[in-house]
Structure 1
Amino acid sequence: MGRARDAAGAYACPRRGERGFTLMELLVALAVTAVLIGMLVPVVWAWRQEEERAAQVAALVAEANGFFAFAVSELRRARAAVRRKSTWTCTPTTGSKSPTGWTRGASCAR
């Protein structure tokens, strides 16, 4: 191991122009890096927009489910009122996974 020797046995010393990168090599490396980043940015941007769109759709579906549960409970109450029957309000359960705390609607007809 150690430094390389030339044919005469003397240590080979690199010439002045053979040390490091040339300016052209550095510019080519930067250009390739810029092209790769330019190709990556639109993909990441589209991915972020798709994730945001999916989150908005999930929020809309949750809102629609909540509205549907409310509408069903109001329909049950209205039917009970027309039939002159009593109604009561269901209480939320402790382990409910619904964001509003109700398991199946807000009120139940008796």
Structure 2
Amino acid sequence: MMRWRADIGCAVLVVVGLTACAGRSVPGAAGTAASSASSQVLWQFHPGERERCSEQMVKGRIAKAKASNIESNENSVLETPDELDRSLVTDAQYEEQVGEWKKLSPDDRIYQLCLAIDQHFDRS
């Protein structure tokens, strides 16, 4: 039950609307300070990683995502736990979203960060 930020129109919808648009359940936000601090590094660029957005592999995946006529998790930005509205999600939902970031491969993590920049969700 991860939450993805869909492109253009869905980004402005409320959490319930976003869930329907992305076809996923709303994951959460309200974990402990310790889990938040230890996990935050997953959804931020590490030193020198931002340059990977110009790599052909990453640029190709982003171009393919933008060209798709079908909205899916592959062409949508994965919400970071920090972007979730903590007043609307439970601790368990928050931790689930942290878990989704932990599941990403290193290349998928970079792709998500670069896709967010491309879609004007700069997380620097």
TM-score band by shorter chain is under 0.3
User: What TM-score comes out, normalization by structure 2 length?
Assistant: 0.22
> Whose Rg is larger?
1
User: What TM-score comes out, normalization by structure 1 length?
Assistant: 0.24
